[in-house]
Structure 1
């Protein structure tokens, strides 16, 4: 008799799904792969807005991730009603994302997702992960570092 593996799911979330959330998604994917628990997780990322649907992650984020040896394989998409019904966690980057998600989740029957700021898991207590879109490479590095801290802590607390 085969034992069924319990799968948890996390959706990383930001405004456009080209900067912060794909970085968080790739970081978390690497952490679960390194911990050899990738078969226990479903990981994705999405956006509030429709601005960037179909786009690749921002080239500065891709450059940052390559520097750290992390692969990014993501095409921007918008959050769906099904995401609220199928993901265990939706982790967003700032208060604006949180407000948008809570408003959308109120319109979904059977919302099972726990919606919270990814920064609530930061051991350094930096609650907000600022959007680096209008910034420079250093800002993307800051997002990466925050995502590593938060995702490590989230993974430790969630399994």
Structure 2
């Protein structure tokens, strides 16, 4: 791994709603902070069902209203991601269990954190999956992602 960069991976189930939105929110905050050269950001899902697809159209529309253009393509999380990323952030407990099931070492497990640990304004313990809900679910997810990504960026500042 490149010692000059911190690599952050966001993980949800299908990599079409929460994690690609988190990736874009984080990328935007990192760019605004002038840290793009120091932070690499990606996203993945615990299932491969949507591999190669753009994020969900409803999430793209909600994010675009806030100035985020979601363009990443879905991919499945793999055991190799433990070596490629310093911080692996899961959106809910099921995602966390699925990611940890692929961990081979304590070092791998130590890279995995719950996304909501970094939220400062919201008390949610998980980022809910908005896929089967209405528009308000996507807005709530984006509120959580903006909050948590600010907290992550602050924690990265403290590391350096």
Work out whether the TM-score is over 0.5: yes
Task: Provide, for residues 72-127 of structure 1, a one-character-per-residue CA deviation record: whole Å limited to 9, x for no partner.
Answer: 12100001222111100010100000111111113x69738610110011112211
Q: TM-score, normalised by structure 1?
A: 0.92
1:28 aligns with 2:26: yes
- Asked if the contact 1:85/1:110 (under 8 Å) is kept, the reply is no
Q: TM-score, normalised by structure 2?
A: 0.91
Task: Tell me which residue corresponds to 1:95.
Answer: 93
Task: Provide, for residues 30-71 of structure 1, a one-character-per-residue CA deviation record: whole Å limited to 9, x for no partner.
Answer: 000111111111100001101111111000110011101112
Task: Tell me which residue corresponds to 1:49.
Answer: 47
CA–CA distance in structure 2, aligned partners of residues 55 and 17 of structure 1? 9
Task: Tell me which residue corresponds to 1:63.
Answer: 61
Task: Tell me which residue corresponds to 2:132.
Answer: 134
Task: List alignment gaps of at least 5 residues for structure 2.
Answer: none
CA–CA distance in structure 2, aligned partners of residues 81 and 64 of structure 1? 31
Misfit runs of 4+, over 6 Å: none
Task: List alignment gaps of at least 5 residues for structure 1.
Answer: none
Q: RMSD over aligned Cα, in angstroms?
A: 1.8
